[in-house]
Structure 1
Amino acid sequence: MNQGAAAVHATPKREETTAYKILFIIGLCHLLNDSIQSVIPAMFPVLEKSMGLSFTQLGLIAFSLNIVSSIMQPVIGIIADKKSLPFALPIGLTFTLVGILGLAFAPRYEWIIVSVLLIGLGSAIFHPEGSRVAFMAAGPRRGLAQSIYQVGGNSGQALAPLITALILVPLGQKGAALFAIVAALAVGLLIYIANWYSKKLKYSSTQKKVKRAMKQIDHQVSKSIKSALILVLFLIFARSWYTSGMTNYYAFYAIEKYALTIKESQMFLFAFLVFGALGTFFGGPLADRFGKKNIIFFSMLGAAPLSAFIPFVPATLAFIMLSVAGFILMLSFSVTVVYAQELIPGKIGTMAGLTVGFAFGMGAVGSIGLGYLADLIGLPLTIMLTGFLPLLGLFTLFLPSDKTLSSWHQ
């Protein structure tokens, strides 16, 4: 083992323990952050009525959120990898706090766009540094740590149907102001996290050695590592395209095929998201035990038969299969983040930004493409074709094994 790699592993034993308290707090903050983000699409029916917005205007709101949140995440990650930014976490949520208040009381469409941009910026700042905190608190259980962190975000996103029904429908646009309380709570928790983060950096007596070692490794990144990263991102995009297609269009398909009400169709979506959140949680511990590549492969290929047959079965069976498919498919969500972080050590924030933020943006692009396809060939055929996207998981076979991944940085 060379001196650079030795420095990476030469951390005090006390740093190798898993800080569960920190993990649960950052996971809760992730839930609070993403539940606030989910307020925006949940408000679309309310804004359409209160302001008379067109579908194009609503689409621009969604685009504004996604483009800032997704594109900025890798940028923030790159900056944070060069210089740790502990207090960026509460500062990011403060942007979100201002944005949600602006959204609740916006008198005109232009103010809504500005408010959404602030929420997107807050989310872009939070996610890479949040993933870094999970990495730092993980100890030897990196898969579990990312699962605890990521399941918070997925659970927050799954709350959108409930937020619409319980808060925004009865209270209208101003009901979003209640989420300022949620944002303020997150800011308070993140100040605590930021203090822990700062102390962790000061405590580490090998921090400078680790950074020097990481720079040495960065210059030695081979074509094989770059190819593996491109393949991981491709697999994430395929998963994102499928989940975006189902969350945006399956409800319309279910209404048409099974003669469901809007409320009943939302329960299909809610089940898909909730079981996906459960899958996110279990994926990390399973990867710690059975290997990251194995879980990514099982996640994609295990969901493929279910996703392919969902459009052809009766409503009750479709509900069950959709739930199971969501669980299996999202087993790989946190695992792909850890795989990328271990693929290129020292770029924790950058990899988190690419695998979560940029992939989220690509999912939005995929959603637009599927929407265009639905207009071109019809919704039923589009949903059927979408069901075959998880088959792209076969490309997982070309990923380096966990053992190979470890050997590249020794």
Structure 2
Amino acid sequence: MADKSLKLAKPAPTPAADRGAGQETVYRILLAISFVHLFNDSIQAVIPAIFPILKENLLLTFTQIGWISFAINFTSSIIQPVIGYAADRKPRPILLPLGMCCTLAGVGILAYAGSYILVLFAVILIGLGSATFHPEGMRVAHMAAGMRKGLSQSIFQVGGNAGQSLAPLLTRFIFVPLGQSGAVYFTFIAAAGVAVQSYVARWYRSMLDAGYTFTKRAKGRLLDPARRRSIRHATLVLVLLVFVRSWYGAAISSYYAFYLMDAYRIGLDDAQIYIFLFLAAGAVGTFFGGPLADRFGRRNLIMLSMVGTAPIALLLPYVSLFWAGVLLTIGGFILLSSFSVTVVYAQMLHPGNIGTVSGLITGFAFGMGGVGALALGNLGDAWGIGNVMIAASFLPLLGLFSFLLPKDRVIEQWSKV
């Protein structure tokens, strides 16, 4: 009797589980996790935004700046698949608020760090918080999606891309006037993230207690070696496409401002506006990409995103300042329209490993994009930034590899076996 009364005391999880399993989309959870994604990525954007301030305050070398960049990229991106793999084996909703607690501590330390070692420690904490959030956040988005997987990932991912797009504005309006201590204001954002994550974690736990599982169809797929090879090849192509998208995105967000300053003789403040146009348009593209993919096909949207960006990228180094703003806006929208769709496509390829594959696509692949930014920086020193931007404009042509991806109906059949 005691056991039965305990079960009757928790009537809510069962309908919630049904909704998350496919009947309805739980928008309140999707919006909550999207807002936290915005909080998380806007805080992470603080790191590159504050580089000039840190260099001046602590008399850092470019090598030390590079190690700070490596620390945030490694901890926030490269280890995401590891955390995702662990979460697939044993989901832990408590990681959501704990991750934001790490971020809260890191940004507080960063605001008043008076030494290089403290800065490194702070960015590692922020990176760990981000690495913890992303795989579990995408699992929550998948759980709350119902039948609208593309829309749910778009809602989740648009928060992160919107947060990243704030970096140029953070530089212009916060860190230039306030300096390093301006980072302290982000502790309030992190604290709000902890509160929202606690709410999401309670819903997540109720779904697990109600019997929700991510691994219903995973076992049968392992019995067919030919299909396993096809899935592996499709995954490699998908990761390659994300690499290309990340490298080109890094070229624009990290170096195009220098190109504008050199080629058009404009100031840093004005150059940041053009980078904001690219990133903000990308956030809008991220939101609309999911619903468009649900309607017209995920593979089709990925192909259009990659191939459609190529002519814009090739024209960009040669146009006037006005048309550069226009092309950056259009190109950002098209390029990042596939941001959430690649995650959903990967989840369809690996339905029993949502956390692992989500961490792979948005973590490891984008971490490699950071490595690409480092490589492009070295080339900029050797060739000049103008030649680097011209060379980077050819990167989207590699999007032609998207034609090697299996069609949607094929991977849907694979996931049902």
Match of 1:69 among 68, 76, 83: 76
Q: CA deviation at 1:218?
A: 4.1
Give the Cα separation in 1 of the matches to 2:51 and 2:121.
16
TM-score, normalised via structure 1 length: 0.94
Q: CA deviation at 1:168?
A: 1.8
Task: Rate the CA distance shift 1:18–1:53 in 2: closer, same or farther, 3 A.
Answer: same
Matched, 1:407 2:397: no
The SS at the match of 1:133 is: helix
Match of 1:185 among 183, 192, 198: 192
Matched, 1:142 2:146: no
Match of 1:15 among 10, 13, 21: 21
Match of 1:103 among 105, 110, 132: 110
The SS at the match of 2:92 is: coil
Aligned positions of 1:182-221 closer than 5 A? 182-204=189-211, 207=213, 211=215, 213-220=217-224
Conserved? CA contact 1:98–1:118, under 8 Å: yes
Give the Cα separation in 1 of the matches to 2:325 and 2:96.
38
- Deviation track 1:322-372 (CA, whole Å, cap 9, x = no partner) reads 110010000110000000010111111111111001111110111112122
Aligned positions of 1:38-77 closer than 5 A? 38-77=45-84
Q: CA deviation at 1:213?
A: 3.9
Q: CA deviation at 1:15?
A: 3.5
- Deviation track 1:43-93 (CA, whole Å, cap 9, x = no partner) reads 111112211212211111111100111111000000000011111000001
Deviates more, 1:172-181 or 1:287-296: 172-181
TM-score, normalised via structure 2 length: 0.93
Matched, 1:226 2:232: yes
Q: Give the CA RMSD over aligned residues.
A: 1.4
Q: CA deviation at 1:378?
A: 2.1
Give the Cα separation in 1 of the matches to 2:233 and 2:68.
35
Matched, 1:350 2:356: yes
Matched, 1:287 2:293: yes
Percent of aligned positions that are identical: 50
Give the Cα separation in 1 of the matches to 2:335 and 2:370.
18
Give the Cα separation in 1 of the matches to 2:148 and 2:232.
25
- Deviation track 1:165-205 (CA, whole Å, cap 9, x = no partner) reads 2222222211111111100000000000000000011123x
Task: Rate the CA distance shift 1:355–1:46 in 2: closer, same or farther, 3 A.
Answer: same
Q: CA deviation at 1:41?
A: 0.8
Q: 2:11 — aligned with what?
A: none
Match of 1:24 among 22, 26, 31: 31
Conserved? CA contact 2:281–2:333, under 8 Å: yes
The one-letter code sitting in structure 2 at the alignment partner of 1:269 is I
- Deviation track 1:210-246 (CA, whole Å, cap 9, x = no partner) reads 6364234345451001000000000000000100011
Give the Cα separation in 2 of the matches to 1:212 and 1:352.
18
The SS at the match of 2:93 is: coil
The SS at the match of 1:400 is: coil
The one-letter code sitting in structure 2 at the alignment partner of 1:90 is P
Q: CA deviation at 1:13?
A: 6.2
Give the Cα separation in 1 of the matches to 2:176 and 2:198.
33
Conserved? CA contact 1:218–1:344, under 8 Å: no
Q: CA deviation at 1:105?
A: 1.5
Q: CA deviation at 1:134?
A: 0.4
Q: 1:261 — aligned with what?
A: 267
Q: 1:242 — aligned with what?
A: 248
Give the Cα separation in 1 of the matches to 2:377 and 2:170.
25
- Deviation track 1:256-302 (CA, whole Å, cap 9, x = no partner) reads 11111111111110100000111111100000000000000000111
Deviates more, 1:159-168 or 1:186-195: 159-168
Identify unmatched segments of 5+ residues in structure 2.
1-16
The SS at the match of 1:408 is: helix
Q: 2:329 — aligned with what?
A: 323
Match of 1:155 among 156, 162, 183: 162
The one-letter code sitting in structure 2 at the alignment partner of 1:251 is A
Conserved? CA contact 2:19–2:144, under 8 Å: no
Match of 1:398 among 397, 400, 404: 404
Q: 1:312 — aligned with what?
A: 318
The one-letter code sitting in structure 2 at the alignment partner of 1:35 is S
The one-letter code sitting in structure 2 at the alignment partner of 1:123 is S
Q: 2:92 — aligned with what?
A: 85
Task: Rate the CA distance shift 1:398–1:14 in 2: closer, same or farther, 3 A.
Answer: closer
Give the Cα separation in 1 of the matches to 2:286 and 2:20.
28
The SS at the match of 2:59 is: coil
Give the Cα separation in 1 of the matches to 2:138 and 2:113.
32
